[in-house]
Structure formats: C-alpha cells, structure tokens
Amino acid sequence: MMRGGGHTGGLPEIFALVVAVLLPPVLQATGQDYYIGFATRVLIFALAATSLNFVVGSGGMVSFGHAAFFGGGAYVVAFLMQAGIVSGWLAWPLAALAAAVAGTAIGALSLRTHGVYFIMITLAFAQMVYYSIVSLQVAGGDDGLSLAQRSALAPFDLADDATLYWVTLAVLAACLGLLRRLERAPFGRVLAGLRDNELRMAALGYPVERIKLVCFVAGAAVAGLAGALLVNQNGMASPAQLYWTQSGMLLVMAILGGVGQRYGAIVGASVLLGLEEMLGQWSEYPHLLIGLILLGVALWVPHGLAGLGQRRS
C-alpha cells in the first residue's frame, strides 16, 4: 500500500490549518467562548491518539497501555508544579522525557511478546502505573493532583484560553510534521518493512526489536507531552486519566479514524469527543448511543472514517 505522496502539505491541509487558527476569534465573536476549551481538549486528545496511531499503525504494535504515558505526563507536570517548578519550558519536556523513560522500560519488556500477549502485557504495565500512582499519598491518591495555575510559558500567557489553544495547535502541528518526517526517513521505511514481514527484515540484518522499541518510545514521549497539555487544559491530573479505559478510548479514537491514516487519529478524536459533547447535552446516557455508533463503524467501516473519502487502491 502506498501511503502519502511526496508533497509536504496539500491545499486541504493548509485550509484546515487556517480554519483551526481562526477558530478562537470566531468563537469569541459569537459568544461561544466555552468551546475554545473544548476545541483545545479535542486537539490534545488528537495528539495523544496520533502518538498511539504511530505506534499501532506505523510500528504495528497494538499497545493497550498508552494512558500510562498520557496520564503520566499530566502527573509529572502537576507534581513539578507542587514542587515549585512552574515553567512549562522545563516541565513539559520533562513530562515527555519521563514518558519516554517509562516507555523504554515497558517497551523493552513487552516487546519480548507478540500479538495478543503484547496487548495484554502493555495493559498490565499501564495498570501497574495506575495502581502505583493511586496508592501514593504524594500523588493525591484517588483525588489526583490539582494545578494551582497553568504552566508559565513566556512569552505566551497560557492563562488565556485562546493562547493555550494556539500553543496546543502548534504542538500538534509540529508533532505531526515530525512523525511524518520520521515515517519518510530511512527509519520509517524500515518500520514499514517490519510491518510487512518481520522475519525478512531480521534476516536482512535489521535490529528488529530495537527499531520497534524506538517507535514505541517516540509514541510514549509524544503522549507524555500531550499529557502535559491536558493537565493545563483541565487543571488537574486524575487517576481516571491513567485507567485502562482511557487507553481504550485512545485506541478507539485511533481505530475510529483509521489506523495508519495520517489524520485518522485527529478525525477519531474529534468525532468521539464531539459526539460525547453533543449527545451529553440532551441525553443522560450518551455512551449508549456512542457505543452503538462505534459498533456500526466496526461492522461496516473497517478502515476507519478517514479512509472513507480516499480512493481505493
């Protein structure tokens, strides 16, 4: 399967970016300020789901423990804030770094297994992270950690919702560009080869496990960064962000949009969170309907929503 062309960004992409940049003033002008926060949330989950999409789609590793890195990043920022480190320039990279370190340990152990066992062991490690953090008094236990203020990211004033939105958008765009470059670099071609035939790549002399580990760790680091953004957006790091259902949600976003589709995770995150928001307003049981919609997608749209508009190859 050919993926992506050689171009760096088509007209639709530029158009989407312009719309995204202009969103906050439009929302403010129409008195819908509330939705700036919501849009930020969508972008953050899009980033986290994109990082998972990279691991699952490009790396061929179905990780069911991504919440450990996503929620873990949130906890790192909240924890540093309590320790007096307010600067986002310091705390955010540290969140990504911590997620990368955790990802190295978890990935190195998990990559000894394959298939369903890989799914299960990543899930188990994420649950370990969850239980460890929940039972730690310094991490706030079941209550989590709330943030006294948003990270200081001079010259940007994150206390302003629109600024946080733009910063999030910039981070998302940068990470997308980075991941795309990675996919087109020799490293990405090797990954694609691994997806097709791992044995053959091993026979050709590629260090299979190490390459997959690098992919897993890169995904974890980006998820950690997304977690740093999340804690700034909603003001607290909570155990629910680490629980396995959060990993499931991220995976659902990636699959819903289309695994391996470049913008699949963004589509998935927008649709899922959008449905939650919309249905939550007029029904007490939004997940009943969302679940039914997801079932429909699973049965009839196997390549995800982002795959719908594409030509069949």
Binding site for other proteins (CB under 8 A): 56, 62, 64, 109, 112-117, 119-121, 123-125, 127-128, 131-132, 134-137, 243-245, 248, 251-252, 255-256, 259, 285-288, 290-295, 297-299, 302
Least separation in angstroms between residue 75's CB and other proteins is: 14
For other proteins, give the closer residue by CB, 151 or 241: 241
Tell me how far, at minimum, the Cβ of 133 lies from other proteins, in Å.
9
Residue 76 or 228: which CB sits closer to other proteins? 76
User: Are 233 and 41 a contacting pair, CB within 8 Å?
Assistant: yes
CA distance linking residue 218 with residue 107, whole number of Å: 11
Min separation Cβ 145 and other proteins, Å? 16
Q: What is the dihedral of CA 59, 62, 63, 66, to 10 degrees?
A: 80
Cβ contacts of 271 within 8 Å, gap of 6 or more = 256, 257, 305
Q: Which two tokens stand for residue 143?
A: 């209550």
Closest approach, Cβ 249 to other proteins, in A, equals 8
Residue 182 vs 294, nearer CB to other proteins: 294
Q: What is the rounded distance in angstroms from the CA atom of residue 229 to the CA atom of residue 304? A: 26
As measured in angstroms, the least distance from the Cβ of 131 to other proteins is 4
* CA 105 – CA 107 distance, rounded (Å): 6
Q: Closest CB to other proteins among 136 and 148?
A: 136
Query: Between 14 and 292, whose beta carbon lies closer to other proteins?
Result: 292
Query: How many angstroms separate the CA atoms of 294 and 262, rounded?
Result: 20
